[in-house]
């Protein structure tokens, strides 16, 4: 980047992609400010566990200088995977080899904490809910926040996920419901309180499906398991059944009926959860999602290429983050850097999105996936 003009870089979203981008830029002496709508780093649960792949997510963390710290936190044993049928019979069981580190697991919260701790104090501005981006295409851009404040930037990087408020500055595209919905359930202190479920899931994950319904159970750190109940249903299936999202007993009764032909052992993954359920309808952006070049705004991660949760989302977000940061380091102008980044990112994301277009249905398939070599998961 040309030292005669230090661009004002604003990253929207303190998820893995946005934080990785800020970290790599700072390693090269380039300042960036991250704005996030959360009131603070502990405002909400960060979600389940992620598998970071050696050829993308891990390579981005290496560029961020954090790969060793990642391996200290990661769980290689989380690569274990079991495929079951609805009767509970094991169809496939992959146990990782000693020293296998191609895609170890790490909790989302642990990854976020690792990235936050690597940044200079004050990099992340909390409680900053972006409403929209204004200003001419060639800049400067104005970021307008819900509290009435405005920030000016020479480059806005939208790392703000599926419902990005930056995306409208470059694209009219909006996520569409895939027809498949997840219902998340939590199990805590599993080795003591839910030993049968802990044994069934193992140290990694367990999946089952019958073509219309499925489930995916996954071990998290701290003796927790998350289960995702997967159904082909309307997006409003809970309210259409006359239930509220907080009506745990009513939803449980509905699930017991829908999964009535499944084995009692698997049905415990549906009904023995600690606390409420969380409704997570699966959305995806149209394929391909491309846009005309804007010299002062770009996107990364789900903001750029929201896809079904099949193991590529966070890995692509980290790869995007490394690529835009590297482009900003290597080019003399923001415009050239954004163009170079999008020349790499857009074809890559389009190719992957085409492969996964409509693939949410695969989460319900009775065909046996190749867990030993496929991207698997979440």
- Asked, for residue 85, whether it belongs to a domain, the answer is no
The C-alpha atoms of residue 375 and residue 86 are separated, in whole angstroms, by: 23
DSSP-derived letter for residue 311 is S
User: Mind listing the pLDDT tens digit for each residue in 129-162?
Assistant: 999 999 999 999 999 999 999 999 999 999 999 9
Strand partners, 284: 176
- Asked, for residue 302, whether it belongs to a domain, the answer is yes
Q: What local confidence, expressed as pLDDT, does residue 1 receive?
A: 67
Which domain CATH number covers 146? 3.50.50.60
The reply to whether 278 and 142 lie within a common domain is no
Find out whether 363 and 209 touch, Cβ atoms under 8 Å: yes
Q: What local confidence, expressed as pLDDT, does residue 378 receive?
A: 41
Q: What local confidence, expressed as pLDDT, does residue 371 receive?
A: 39
Handedness of CA 112, 114, 118, 120 (dihedral sign): positive
- Global pTM value: 0.93
The reply to whether 249 and 278 lie within a common domain is yes
Q: What local confidence, expressed as pLDDT, does residue 47 receive?
A: 76
Residue-by-residue DSSP string for 104-165: -EEEHHHHHHHHHHHSPTT-EE-S--EEEEES-TTS-EEEEETTS-EEEESEEEE---TT-S
Only one residue has tokens 């990854």, namely 111
User: Mind listing the pLDDT tens digit for each residue in 276-330?
Assistant: 999 999 999 999 999 999 999 999 999 999 999 887 899 999 999 999 999 999 9
The reply to whether 131 and 194 lie within a common domain is no
The reply to whether 28 and 45 lie within a common domain is yes
- Choose the final residue of a domain: 250, 284, 318: 284
Structural domain including 222 reads 176-284
Record the tokens describing residue 232, joined without a space.
């082909």
Q: 333-340 — which CB contacts under 8 Å span 24+ positions?
A: 333/2, 334/7, 334/139, 334/154, 334/155, 334/295, 334/296, 335/138, 335/295, 335/296, 337/1, 338/155, 338/293, 338/294, 338/295, 338/296, 338/297, 338/298, 339/293, 339/295
- Asked, for residue 2, whether it belongs to a domain, the answer is no
Domain count for the chain: 2
Which domain CATH number covers 181? 3.30.9.30
The reply to whether 180 and 217 lie within a common domain is yes
User: Mind listing the pLDDT tens digit for each residue in 49-61?
Assistant: 899 999 999 999 9
The C-alpha atoms of residue 52 and residue 60 are separated, in whole angstroms, by: 10
The reply to whether 261 and 162 lie within a common domain is no
Whole-number mean pLDDT of the chain? 92
- Asked, for residue 369, whether it belongs to a domain, the answer is no
The reply to whether 55 and 152 lie within a common domain is yes
The C-alpha atoms of residue 55 and residue 348 are separated, in whole angstroms, by: 14
The reply to whether 122 and 204 lie within a common domain is no
The C-alpha atoms of residue 187 and residue 194 are separated, in whole angstroms, by: 8
User: Mind listing the pLDDT tens digit for each residue in 152-196?
Assistant: 999 999 999 999 999 999 999 999 999 999 999 999 999 999 999
The reply to whether 182 and 252 lie within a common domain is yes
More confident residue, 2 or 147: 147
- Asked, for residue 374, whether it belongs to a domain, the answer is no
């Amino acid at each position: 980047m040309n030292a005669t003009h230090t661009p004002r870089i604003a990253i929207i979203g303190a998820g893995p992609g946005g934080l990785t981008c800020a970290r790599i830029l700072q390693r090269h002496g380039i300042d960036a400010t991250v704005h996030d709508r959360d009131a603070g780093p502990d405002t909400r649960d960060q979600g389940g566990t992620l598998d970071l792949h050696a050829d993308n997510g891990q390579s981005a963390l290496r560029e961020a200088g954090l790969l060793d710290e990642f391996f200290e936190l990661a769980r290689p044993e989380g690569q274990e995977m079991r495929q079951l049928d609805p009767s509970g019979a094991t169809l496939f069981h992959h146990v990782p080899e000693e020293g296998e580190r191609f895609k170890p697991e790490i909790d989302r919260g642990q990854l976020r904490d690792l990235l936050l701790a690597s940044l200079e104090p004050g990099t992340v501005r909390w409680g900053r809910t972006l409403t929209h981006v204004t200003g001419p295409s060639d800049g400067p851009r104005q970021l307008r926040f819900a509290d009435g404040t405005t920030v000016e930037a020479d480059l806005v990087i939208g790392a703000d996920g599926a419902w990005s408020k930056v995306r409208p500055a470059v694209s009219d595209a909006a996520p569409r419901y895939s027809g498949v919905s997840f219902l998340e359930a939590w199990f805590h202190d599993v080795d003591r309180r839910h030993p049968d479920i802990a044994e069934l899931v193992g140290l990694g994950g367990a999946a089952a499906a019958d073509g219309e319904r499925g489930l995916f159970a996954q071990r998290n750190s701290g003796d927790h398991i998350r289960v995702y109940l997967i159904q082909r249903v309307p997006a409003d299936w809970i309210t259409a059944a006359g239930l509220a999202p907080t009506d745990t007993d009513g939803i449980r009764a509905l699930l017991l009926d829908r999964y009535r032909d499944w084995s009692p052992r698997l049905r415990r993954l549906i009904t023995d959860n600690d606390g409420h359920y969380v409704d997570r309808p699966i959305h995806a952006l149209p394929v391909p999602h491309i846009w005309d070049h804007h010299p002062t705004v770009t996107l990364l991660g789900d903001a750029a290429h929201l896809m079904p949760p099949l193991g590529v989302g966070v890995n692509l977000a980290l790869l995007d983050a490394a690529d835009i940061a590297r482009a900003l380091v290597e080019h003399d102008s923001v415009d050239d850097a954004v163009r170079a980044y999008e020349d790499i990112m857009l074809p890559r994301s389009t190719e992957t999105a085409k492969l996964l277009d409509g693939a949410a249905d695969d989460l319900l398939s009775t065909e046996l996936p190749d867990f030993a070599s496929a991207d698997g998961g979440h």
